[in-house]
Amino acid sequence: MNVEMHGKKISAVLWPDTETEKGRCLMVGYGCDDMYLSATYHGDRDEFWIVQTKDGTEVARHNPRYVETIEWAKA
């Protein structure tokens, strides 16, 4: 990932679950209205977040470090 990907739309995110061997999945239309990548430069580092929105309001940010799979939305 790089900062040029800022604002790129995401359709689904999958997290591994090592305790139950079942992963967690968040999909647009099922639990959120929209997801996108926030990719910003802070002078000495890049910072990445998966932003989840509901009714046009940000409701959560997820650290992509712990994500297993990101499915990008079709343009």
Q: At 66, phi and psi to the nearest 5?
A: -95, 0
> Per-residue pLDDT tens for 40-54?
999 999 999 999 999
Residue 58 has pLDDT above 90, yes or no: yes
Ordered by start, the domain boundaries in the chain are: 3-72
CB-based contacts of 72, cutoff 8 Å, min separation 6: 8, 9, 10, 11
Q: Where do we find the tokens 């009714």?
A: 55
Q: What is the DSSP letter of 68?
A: S
In the predicted structure, residue 17 carries a pLDDT above the cut 80: no
Model confidence at 21: pLDDT above 80: no
